């Protein structure tokens, strides 16, 4: 048979399924999913928070400036691509940067302060899929903008505690409080960290060798066994 007259071979059918680390919320799961959202909404509104929804996709600069260009989120974990107009866009990896962008863009500084907002949204991180960690995940969060007061931190913590209690999972958690100091004391601590690690660079992983000059506090958060 002439090769030119041969019928083209059928392409092997590709199995259609969700990408790695991303899953469907099936009908039997939505009963629980809806209950969690109802509990979060009730407690958030009770505490005075108003709901905000920011786009799933933002200009990449929003996260570079808001999260920090030297963080693992920006350097390794974001889904970033150029759109047809050549603009760098990113699927939302966390909620705070977009909320702050909305606060500034829509003139919320003119509202009575502080502005208390909450969200329940999907987020995306290109992280290694494992039990309990997905590349698309839902997260609720609280943001209080426009005022500095430790009591506001307590308000967020207590609201989260009441949510966990309503969900019946409060006995699965322990609360540990920490702080990273004031801007003045933090600057001294960063200087001390740099002095300590200077000369020990060869003992650090490649990422931490860069962090020493860009974001020294991240040295204490490294998951590399040698760095720990």
For the stretch 132-147, pLDDT in tens is 789 999 999 999 999 9
pLDDT of residue 140: 95
Q: State both tokens at 22.
A: 């991303």
Give residues with Cβ within 8 angstroms of 204, minimum separation 6: 197, 212, 219, 226, 227
Using the predicted structure, report yes or no on whether residue 71 has a pLDDT greater than 70.
no
Q: Are 68 and 112 in contact (CB under 8 A)?
A: no
Query: Biggest alpha carbon distance in the chain?
Result: 84
Q: Are 36 and 167 in contact (CB under 8 A)?
A: yes
Give the total residue count for the chain.
228
pLDDT digits (tens, 9 = 90+) for 149-208: 989 999 999 999 999 999 999 999 898 888 878 888 999 999 999 999 999 888 899 888
Long-range contacts of 149-156 (CB under 8 A, 24+ apart): 152/114, 155/47
- Percentage of the chain beyond pLDDT 70 is 92
CA geometry: angle 181, 97, 89, nearest 5 deg: 140
H helices then E strands: how many in the chain? 7, 6
Confidence at 122, pLDDT banded by 50, 70, 90? very high
Q: Which of these, 73, 54, 56, lies nearest to 64 by C-alpha position?
A: 73
Q: Which of these, 47, 46, 49, 74, lies nearest to 60 by C-alpha position?
A: 74
Q: State both tokens at 146.
A: 């426009």
If you average pLDDT over every residue of the chain, what do you get?
89
Backbone angles phi and psi of 86, in degrees to 5: 80, 10
Q: Which of these, 145, 137, 97, 98, lies nearest to 117 by C-alpha position?
A: 145
pTM to 2 decimal places = 0.79
Q: How far is CA 26 from the centre of its chain?
A: 24
């Amino acid at each position: 048979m002439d090769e030119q007259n041969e019928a083209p071979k059928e392409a092997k059918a590709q199995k259609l399924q969700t990408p790695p680390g991303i899953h469907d919320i099936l009908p039997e799961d939505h009963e629980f999913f809806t209950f969690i959202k109802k509990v979060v909404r009730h407690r958030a509104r009770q505490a005075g928070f108003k709901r905000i929804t920011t786009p799933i996709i933002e200009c990449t600069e929003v996260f570079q400036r808001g999260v920090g260009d030297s963080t693992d989120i920006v350097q390794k974990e974001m889904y970033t691509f150029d759109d047809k107009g050549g603009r760098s866009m990113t699927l939302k990896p966390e909620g705070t940067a977009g909320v702050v962008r909305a606060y500034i863009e829509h003139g919320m500084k003119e509202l009575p302060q502080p502005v208390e907002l909450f969200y329940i949204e999907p987020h995306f991180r290109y992280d290694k899929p494992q039990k309990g960690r997905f590349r698309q995940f839902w997260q609720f969060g609280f943001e209080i903008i426009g005022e500095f007061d430790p009591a506001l931190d307590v308000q967020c913590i207590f609201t989260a505690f009441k949510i966990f209690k309503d969900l019946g999972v409060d006995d699965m958690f322990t609360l540990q409080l920490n702080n990273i100091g004031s801007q003045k004391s933090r600057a001294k601590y960063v200087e001390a960290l740099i002095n300590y690690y200077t000369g020990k660079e060869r003992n650090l992983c490649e990422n931490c060798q860069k962090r020493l000059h860009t974001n020294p506090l991240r040295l204490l958060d490294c998951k590399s066994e040698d760095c720990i």
